[in-house]
A and B are shown apart, each in its own frame.
Chain A
Amino acid sequence: SQQGEEDPQALSIQEGENATMNCSYKTSINNLQWYRQNSGRGLVHLILIRSNEREKHSGRLRVTLDTSKKSSSLLITASRAADTASYFCATVIQGAQKLVFGQGTRLTINP
């Protein structure tokens, strides 16, 4: 079964609004990463948050991690049309040597 599950599966907002995506996972992790995939392209790494961190920022991105709830959120502020993409969380399970991806949130920014 999947380790990470994103919520919602699809999100459509107006340009300029904030977009929040959530990720839940099942087992203890070393770190959690967020990736973006534009249509027809490969995945691009956005941000990595370690299991001992609670919040991390990168430009308009803000990621939080709550290990007690086994969940993370990705906030994109002041969204732009170019942010339209699928966003995936990926976790590294303790003791494993691989990233496990969720199914992603498909984000659409309407002009």
Chain B
Amino acid sequence: DTAVSQTPKYLVTQMGNDKSIKCEQNLGHDTMYWYKQDSKKFLKIMFSYNNKELIINETVPNRFSPKSPDKAHLNLHINSLELGDSAVYFCASSQNLAGGRETQYFGPGTRLLVL
């Protein structure tokens, strides 16, 4: 079974549309994250949640809204998509927050292309 799963794997959409990416982890972890990896492979944290509570919001535009219905799920909704949102989005989880010191387990990524 996949530890951290994301859907969809690929997402191609028009500028201005609204889309969601789902993430689920079956590791029993308390903390989940969203990262964005740009075309230069630079990976940057967007959000982290600990037990459904928002911990980090890394100055991401408010078009991006994470939602954590329970600690096993962290979904990412993006409104009014822009060309610059094209990237690979990774979900990750760790056992607990521990100041970010824990090993993180990554999902396979969602490749978003905005046309």
Contacts and interface: CB of A to CB of B under 8 A. Distances in A.
Interface of A: 2, 30-31, 33, 35, 37, 40-45, 48, 86, 88, 92, 96-101, 103-104, 106
Contacts of A33: 103
Interface of B: 4, 40-45, 48, 55-56, 58, 90, 92, 97, 99-101, 103-109
Nearest to A88: B43
Interface of B is mostly: mixed
A98 B108 contact: no
B108 A43 contact: no
Given A42-B4, A43-B90, A103-B41, A96 B108 contact: no
Contacts of B108: 41-42
Contact of B41 (A31, A86, A96, A98): A86
B25 to A, nearest CB: 12
Given A41-B108, A42-B108, A99-B45, A92 B56 contact: no
Contact of B42 (A2, A45, A92, A97): A2
Contact of A98 (B4, B40, B100): B100
Given A43-B43, A97-B48, 18 more contacts: A2-B42, A42-B90, A42-B107, A43-B92, A45-B103, A96-B99, A97-B56, A97-B97, A97-B100, A98-B100, A99-B100, A100-B45, A101-B42, A101-B43, A101-B44, A103-B41, A103-B42, A104-B41
Central interface residue in A33, A35, A48, A97, by most chain B CB within 10 Å: A97
Given A97-B48, A103-B42, A30 B105 contact: no
Contacts of B106: 35, 42-44
Contacts of B107: 42
A45 B27 CA distance: 15
